[in-house]
Amino acid sequence: MKKVIITGGAGFIGSHLSEKYIKNGWKVTVIDNLSTGRKENIKELEKNKNFYFIYGDITDFDFLKQNIKDFDLIIHLAAAVGVKYIIENPIKSIITNVKGTENILEIANIDKTPVFIASTSEVYGKNTNIPLKEDDDRVVGSTNVSRWNYACSKALDEFLSLAYFREKKLPVVIGRFFNTCGPRQIGEYGMVVPKFIKQAMLGLPITIYGDGKQSRCFTHVEDVVNAVYALCEKKECYGNVFNIGSDIQVTITELATKIVTKLKSDSLIEYIPYNKVYGSNFEDMLVRQPLLDKIRKYIEFNPEFNIDYIIKDVIKFFES
């Protein structure tokens, strides 16, 4: 039986990915410090004899070296997540992302264990060359703008991962996630879909930061999980970076309107200037849309679930 270890496996994406591997006959070990992950996400998994949970921190090299041995695959999801969390915890975010990934790569390299590194569409920064292609230039703002520390730390993760692939021949594949959504995601760290749904269910104002004209491409977690699994199964994917997400744009105002309509909520939409939430030096992107040509050359990838299904699925989760 093959064995996979998933860092951040008690998180939103990690718990779904753990279920995927268990279902496909793997032994799954999760490492998580529960800073943003939750034991509730894996309570059903813990009933399975092929699932193991280890509490620990990816920045602790000795801990990782002791626990990551004899695995067929490492999936590295653990990271600082969410705009709100990043801005409020800049030092911890940078150390977690950079040091954590360095530790994982160093340990994986001991036995040349294949690694999937989770990255983000944030690395594109303010690039307006839409749709965004994997080898497009990065356009990031000033170091005085806290927003960009996350983009830069994840870009450094990518540089380091590709360096390990080229210099040390470590099998590495990188996936850039675009606004993954679905059951178990919470709005506490700034994720708009669960935040808006919770506000609408409680009859509270739907709080949109900015003018609501900014658009994003929302992707159901099951589509992301299926893509990660497929990419890790093909050796041809190693040494490559892939966009993983939907390419259908939805403005934030359209998202809020869909949620209010679906729930038949009395909530009103309220627009709040960025500076009242994040301070005077915050920057955002108007459009964030991936080009999916590359991933479709390597695996069969066609996101199955649209934004209406995502909204329905998250509502069902909150009502359960």
Residues annotated as catalytic (active site), given as ranges? 150
CA dist 19 and 10 (Å) reads: 11
CA dist 13 and 7 (Å) reads: 11
At residue 192's C-alpha, the angle toward residues 39 and 183, to 5°, is: 40
Contacts of 66 (CB under 8 A, 6+ apart): none
Radius of gyration in angstroms for the set of CA atoms belonging to the chain, rounded to a whole number: 19
Going from the C-alpha of 198 to that of each of 33, 123, 170, 281, 307, the distances in angstroms are: 26, 29, 43, 28, 16
3-state secondary structure of 287: strand
- What pairing do the DSSP bridges indicate for beta strands 250-251 and 215-216? antiparallel
Residue from 82, 84, 120 nearest 101 by CA? 120
CA dist 243 and 145 (Å) reads: 25
Identity at 184, one-letter amino acid code: R
E strands within the chain? Answer: 3-7, 27-32, 51-55, 73-76, 115-120, 172-177, 180-181, 206-209, 215-216, 219-220, 240-244, 250-251, 269-272, 287-288
CA dist 106 and 7 (Å) reads: 15
